[in-house]
Chain A
Amino acid sequence: MGKILLEVRNLHATVAGVEILKGFDLTVRAGEVHAIMGPNGSGKSTFSKLLAGHPAYTVTGGEVLYQGENLLALSAEERSRAGVFLAFQYPVEIPGVSNASFLRLAYNTVQKQRGGEELDPLEFDDLVREKLKLVEMEASFLERSVNEGFSGGEKKRNEILQMALLEPTLAVLDETDSGLDIDALRIVAGGVNKLLNPGNAVILVTHYQRLLNYITPQFVHVMEDGRIVKTGGKELALELEERGYDWVREEQAARQLA
């Protein structure tokens, strides 16, 4: 078994005073792929953003250890530099800022933190063109403003491009599959697969089983009302696809009665 990268214990969190996470537990080891599924409003996106350090969420209890350290003590920038990555469900548009300069600044910031080499625009251009192939993007993407006027699929591919550049240790993909047609889904999943290695881990937050046809998770978790209520292997996703979430709820209720 790989070493433990992430340990979340009894996490409680609120947004605007409303409790969303209510005792969330999760352990992720190096080399693993986890899928978190669950109905709308179960807290999946909250968990993703909270992990990346979104300021709107307040942790009210529990702990999050990343490589043995208290992740919650770090700012969002520090988390990113330490190797935590969030692929956004809705990447924002940043007009006037070219994708190339944004990517290079992000890359150099993270490189600096890790003692790696910072690249000038020409060197970076060589690197990023290599990485573009991974997500089958044209070089013209680099000249456009960050996400501005990008199609849904282009935005998601741009997220995976950033993942490829920043080489995170722990990546959370928040509904990266939503809004993708089948070709884009294949490209995005292919990119993620190529980035997987025994030293890193990926958490896929998704509604649908179809992403898991392309990226195979070792663990599938079902989230309900702010916590994980069931964990299984890949076959659990298929079962959810077929039967919906109600049976998980019933099972949960039965367990509580017993």
Chain B
Amino acid sequence: MSATLDSLINRPYTAGFVTPVESDSAPKGLSEDTIRLISAKKNEPEWLLEFRLKAHKHWLTLQEPQWASVHHPKIDFQDMVYYSAPKTKKKLASMDEVDPELLRTFEKLGVPMHERKTLANVAVDVIFDSVSVATTYKKKLAEVGVIFCSFSEAVQEHPELVKKYLGSVVPQGDNYYAALNSAVFTDGSFCYIPKNTRCPMELSTYFRINNQESGQFERTLIIAEEGSHVSYLEGCTAPRFDTNQLHAAVVELVALDNAEIKYSTVQNWYAGDENGVGGIYNFVTKRGMCRGVNSKISWTQVETGSAITWKYPSCVLLGDNSIGEFYSVALTNHRQQADTGTKMIHIGKNTKSRIVSKGISAGESSNSYRGLVRMTPTAHGARNHSQCDSLLIGSRCEANTFPYIEVRNPSARVEHEATTSKIGEDQMFYFSSRGIGSEEAVSMIINGFCKDVFMQLPMEFAVEATQLLGLKLEGSVG
């Protein structure tokens, strides 16, 4: 690989600083006591504590999954902090009371926390380590009946909704990390869109891990009632540490009749250094249930960070004519490992799903697409189309595609396409021989490669995502 190409994909991580805030942390280790402590800190109702304890009990019986194409030393779950919150004196009445140190942190990261300064039409919930520190535009959203708040707040203010839907898409015992999350989750975002309401603004949650020893276990729940529509985005960063932090989130989406949820992620957790030291283990369970007829759930993800990414945002297509979509760009560099993809479970009649996955591998990284398309016996007339493309930069990286296809209904149709290509020295020379610099060349190639996915992102974030990829590949996209 040419020296220019090499330098292009090796750019420092700009979100890697630590914020000096005093934190209120639980002691290291995981036991029933830790769980009781978290639950007590959050003043939770008894049923939620039961939910947690049941999950913990089940977790103890499970083994870590071994099937993913990733390698890491065994995680010591007792050497980890399960609750860490920046110290605050009292409950905040408004944005202006947020610790200025935190405000500065998020300003530095480009997260709009001041409503008046914010990106037009984006409401933000900000999660710092284990707690939500602020949510913007709550009032404006409440005017149309949209509830957008931290998960902890939802437990207090809307327990009936939380109780009804929590675990309804990802049950406590679903998998190893989901069970762990169910036991120890601390905060996250909660959205509820009432019947026949189109959420008037983009909802967004920004996740920040600051504490070196804490894991982040957030829980997000989005409910779209009949005929409603919402677009939601999450962003994530973490400081640069030479130890690994665990991020094990669970996201549940519920779409009722004729409802639509669009969920976008721009993930930029710290990825570790060029030798693979440090970085976030991003072991996440995301699943949406298209419960109603004609409902639609669309996942879009731009995964650029984390030492290891293990995530499969999925759709259960229960309602007749419901639609599931998965659009993904996963970029790995250095020693990063990604094993990501989706599951489309077709149950209802005439359900449709579309998968577009774009993997970019550079350095010595490994990037795998793993996806399941299941047509159950009731999925008459169901259809799926999958497109999985891999782009290699250099010759020391790896790209894999693992499609799993199960068809149990003869009228269902499944299509799968896959390609692999490589940015080579000759392509770069072709650009430069036409006067085009290498940054612009890589930008053009990557933009072209990711076009189908970027098109799906909300306008403001499409720009952010291209910039982020540019940062990772040296300011080359845009």
Residues of A within 8 A of B (CB): 49, 52-56, 75-77, 79-81, 85-86, 88, 91-92, 94-98, 101-102, 105-106, 109-110, 113, 145, 162, 166
Q: Cα distance A243–B38 when bound, in Å?
A: 92
Q: Which residues of B contact A53 (CB under 8 A)?
A: 429, 432-433
**Extra pairs beyond A55-B4, A79-B433 (16, CB < 8 Å):** A49-B429, A52-B429, A53-B432, A54-B429, A77-B436, A77-B437, A88-B430, A91-B430, A92-B426, A94-B430, A96-B451, A97-B445, A109-B437, A109-B440, A145-B448, A166-B434
Q: Which residues of B contact A85 (CB under 8 A)?
A: 433
Given A76-B429, A92-B426: A98 touches B434 (CB 8 Å cut-off):
no
Q: Cα distance A135–B72 when bound, in Å?
A: 57
Q: Cα distance A109–B441 when bound, in Å?
A: 12
By the criterion CB–CB under 8 Å, are B448 and A95 in contact? Answer: yes
Q: Cα distance A57–B252 when bound, in Å?
A: 56
Q: Cα distance A79–B432 when bound, in Å?
A: 9
Complex: chain B residue closest to A90, CB-CB: B426
Q: Cα distance A53–B445 when bound, in Å?
A: 21
Q: Cα distance A80–B432 when bound, in Å?
A: 8
A243 to chain B, nearest CB (A): 35
Q: Cα distance A52–B424 when bound, in Å?
A: 17
Q: Which residues of A contact B449 (CB under 8 A)?
A: 95-96
Interchain CB contact (< 8 A) of B445 among A52, A96, A162:
A96
Q: Cα distance A85–B433 when bound, in Å?
A: 7
Q: Cα distance A162–B425 when bound, in Å?
A: 20
Interface centre among B3, B425, B435, B448 (most CB of A within 10 A): B435
Interchain CB contact (< 8 A) of B427 among A80, A94, A106, A110:
A94
Query: Is B2 positioned at the interface, with any CB of A under 8 Å from its CB?
Result: yes
Residues facing A in B408-454 (CB within 8 A) are 419, 421, 424-427, 429-430, 432-437, 440, 444-445, 447-449, 451
Q: Which residues of A contact B3 (CB under 8 A)?
A: 55
By the criterion CB–CB under 8 Å, are A92 and B427 in contact? Answer: yes
B127 to chain A, nearest CB (A): 35
A50 to chain B, nearest CB (A): 12
By the criterion CB–CB under 8 Å, are B425 and A77 in contact? Answer: no
Q: Cα distance A80–B421 when bound, in Å?
A: 27
Given A55-B429, A56-B425, A92-B427: A110 touches B448 (CB 8 Å cut-off):
no
Complex: chain B residue closest to A91, CB-CB: B430
Complex: chain B residue closest to A79, CB-CB: B433
Q: Which residues of A contact B440 (CB under 8 A)?
A: 105, 109
6 closest A-B pairs by CB: A96-B448, A76-B432, A106-B434, A80-B435, A97-B448, A109-B435
By the criterion CB–CB under 8 Å, are B448 and A98 in contact? Answer: yes
Interface centre among B3, B419, B448 (most CB of A within 10 A): B448
Interchain CB contact (< 8 A) of B435 among A56, A95, A101, A113:
A113
Q: Which residues of B contact A95 (CB under 8 A)?
A: 419, 421, 448-449
Q: Cα distance A53–B3 when bound, in Å?
A: 14
Q: Which residues of A contact B437 (CB under 8 A)?
A: 77, 109
A51 to chain B, nearest CB (A): 10
A154 to chain B, nearest CB (A): 16
Q: Which residues of B contact A55 (CB under 8 A)?
A: 2-4, 425, 429
Interchain CB contact (< 8 A) of A106 among B419, B429, B435, B447:
B435
Q: Cα distance A15–B430 when bound, in Å?
A: 18
Q: Cα distance A69–B427 when bound, in Å?
A: 27
By the criterion CB–CB under 8 Å, are B448 and A80 in contact? Answer: no
Interface centre among B427, B430, B434, B447 (most CB of A within 10 A): B434
Q: Which residues of A contact B4 (CB under 8 A)?
A: 55
Given A55-B429, A76-B429, A91-B430: A106 touches B445 (CB 8 Å cut-off):
no
Pairs A–B under 8 Å by Cβ, sample size 28: A52-B429, A53-B429, A55-B3, A56-B425, A75-B432, A76-B429, A77-B432, A77-B435, A77-B436, A77-B437, A80-B432, A81-B435, A88-B430, A88-B433, A91-B430, A92-B427, A92-B430, A94-B427, A94-B444, A95-B421, A95-B448, A95-B449, A96-B447, A96-B448, A98-B448, A101-B444, A109-B437, A166-B435
Q: Cα distance A166–B2 when bound, in Å?
A: 26
Residues facing A in B92-126 (CB within 8 A) are none
Residues facing A in B1-49 (CB within 8 A) are 2-4
Q: Cα distance A56–B403 when bound, in Å?
A: 38
Q: Cα distance A56–B2 when bound, in Å?
A: 9
Q: Which residues of B contact A80 (CB under 8 A)?
A: 432-435
Q: Which residues of B contact A56 (CB under 8 A)?
A: 425
B344 to chain A, nearest CB (A): 25
By the criterion CB–CB under 8 Å, are A76 and B433 in contact? Answer: yes
Residues facing A in B390-419 (CB within 8 A) are 419
Q: Which residues of B contact A162 (CB under 8 A)?
A: 434
Q: Which residues of B contact A98 (CB under 8 A)?
A: 448
Complex: chain A residue closest to B427, CB-CB: A92
A254 to chain B, nearest CB (A): 40
By the criterion CB–CB under 8 Å, are A86 and B427 in contact? Answer: no
Q: Cα distance A166–B434 when bound, in Å?
A: 8
Complex: chain A residue closest to B450, CB-CB: A96
Complex: chain A residue closest to B434, CB-CB: A106
Q: Cα distance A88–B433 when bound, in Å?
A: 10
Complex: chain A residue closest to B452, CB-CB: A96
Interchain CB contact (< 8 A) of B444 among A77, A97, A166:
A97
Q: Which residues of A contact B435 (CB under 8 A)?
A: 77, 80-81, 106, 109-110, 113, 166
By the criterion CB–CB under 8 Å, are B444 and A102 in contact? Answer: yes
By the criterion CB–CB under 8 Å, are A106 and B448 in contact? Answer: no
Complex: chain B residue closest to A78, CB-CB: B435
Q: Which residues of B contact A81 (CB under 8 A)?
A: 435
Complex: chain B residue closest to A109, CB-CB: B435
Q: Cα distance A88–B426 when bound, in Å?
A: 11
B401 to chain A, nearest CB (A): 17
Interface centre among A52, A79, A97, A110 (most CB of B within 10 A): A97
Q: Cα distance A55–B449 when bound, in Å?
A: 25
Complex: chain B residue closest to A103, CB-CB: B434
Q: Cα distance A110–B433 when bound, in Å?
A: 11
Given A92-B427, A94-B448: A105 touches B436 (CB 8 Å cut-off):
yes
B5 to chain A, nearest CB (A): 10
Given A55-B429, A56-B425, A76-B429: A94 touches B436 (CB 8 Å cut-off):
no
